[in-house]
Structure 1
């Protein structure tokens, strides 16, 4: 793929600064308070029908909680993240665990370059697309559709709003309080920063973006009111 025009959105670290090496190192500890990466991957493998012959691309792979576990079920996993510091953690863990079927790229959704002749079977993106404003989400999704084989699967999971706008203050307070109960003060503060500085959107907007970008939404599920997952097929 050729380089993007100069007027393209400049992907940068909004919200919590995962470019900070100390924060990158603590990512796993913080997220394991409310996540089980192995169980998440088992569910993803089942939902997407991932096989040992598949190449899977993980956009926003972070420190590799999902990527490293996916490597057990697929031929190759490509991990893409804008934070070199988080990718350093991923590579350290891969070396410790002797996992060799992982390829990493320091790039964002919009800046990642993929060989157009080598389409992938599955794409996963968890807790990452909210870093882009809605228009640029659609550009990123279009790019994912171009990278995927026809009939390939996309799994998207993120903080996506399902409440009515007139209930936004109570609903967002409930989200932050729920995170506090599940994972403590630091993750509650991080959630508040997410709401203030990042770009989570409504479910009906996200579904429109997916459909306009070349995907069919096979099904959607909602966890804890506003954590939403989509399984989609590339048309």
Structure 2
């Protein structure tokens, strides 16, 4: 891991503890209640125009639900996650599936140490950047811009709020209820923890962070009042 100054934010997993091996082992089963990793990956390949020659980085890759599917479409996937336990699950799945074109690094957004001479074609970050407070999101995005080749793409998908602040209580309660209806009590509880302990932000803040760190927002799609997809080009 990169050695940062003493005043740097100490990355951790606020909210649900994905450093816990038992929770890491259950991640796929819980998230597949409301996600389809294969469809998500195919969508990313299409909108990001990923080619067999591309090197793709998945920041906050978790157990590799997306990364291992992307590996079928590109030259290499660099899988980065702060949780060694999640990467262990990813590596076991890759071995069973005979997927060999991945590299794994146990590091966070702020501690990952990239070979700056070997920049990447695409970066994907799904439901992970919210682990950082807003200022540190900007530092992470600046690093992503430095890692990307000029003109190449960032795919960012996260829990990002689009509701009016006056409606926050009603909107958050609906978010929790919707998750309960789709994925049950355990994921509804995780959603409560997310709201209380993690750092999801507003879309207008996220867009300012992207633009100030060297990205042009090519497209924005609001998947719900709480999930937003950005496709960005490095300027």
| Interval containing the TM-score (normalised by the shorter chain) | over 0.9
Structure-to-structure mapping, 1:1-235, within 5 angstroms: 3-235=3-235
How far off is 1:2 after superposition? Answer: 6.0
* Cα distance between partner residues in 1 of 2:2 and 2:107: 14
Cα displacement string for residues 51-102 of structure 1 (whole angstroms, at most 9, x for unaligned residues): 0000000000000000100000000000000000000000000000000000
Once superposed, which parts of structure 1, at least 4 consecutive aligned residues long, lie more than 4 Å away? none
Structure 2 length normalisation: TM-score?
A: 0.99
Q: For structure 1, list consecutive stretches of 5 or more residues without a partner in the other structure.
A: none
Q: In the aligned structure 2, how far is the partner of 1:223 from the partner of 1:150?
A: 28
Shift of 1:4: 1.7
Number of positions where the alignment pairs a residue of Structure 1 with one of Structure 2: 235
Q: Does the CA contact (< 8 Å) of 2:122 and 2:152 recur in 1?
A: yes
Give CA-to-partner distance per residue, 1:96-115, whole Å, 9 cap, x none. 00000000000000000000
> Could you report, residue by residue, the CA deviation over 1:156-215 in whole angstroms, capped at 9, with x for unpaired residues?
000000011111000000111011111010000000000000000000000000000000
Q: Distance in 1 between matches of 2:122 and 2:91?
A: 21
Cα deviation per residue 1:3-24 (whole Å; 9 max; x = unaligned)? 3211110001100000110100
Q: With structure 1 as the length reference, what TM-score do the two structures score?
A: 0.99
> d(CA) in 2 for partners of 1:8 and 1:153?
27
For residue 66 of structure 2, give the secondary structure of its aligned residue in structure 1.
helix
2:213 and 2:45 map into 1 onto residues whose CA distance is 23
2-side partners of 1:42 and 1:100: how far apart?
19
Q: Deviations over 1:32-51 (max 9, x none)?
A: 00000000011000110000
**What is the alpha-carbon root mean square deviation over aligned residues?**
0.9
Q: How far does residue 226 in structure 1 lie from its aligned partner after superposition? A: 1.3
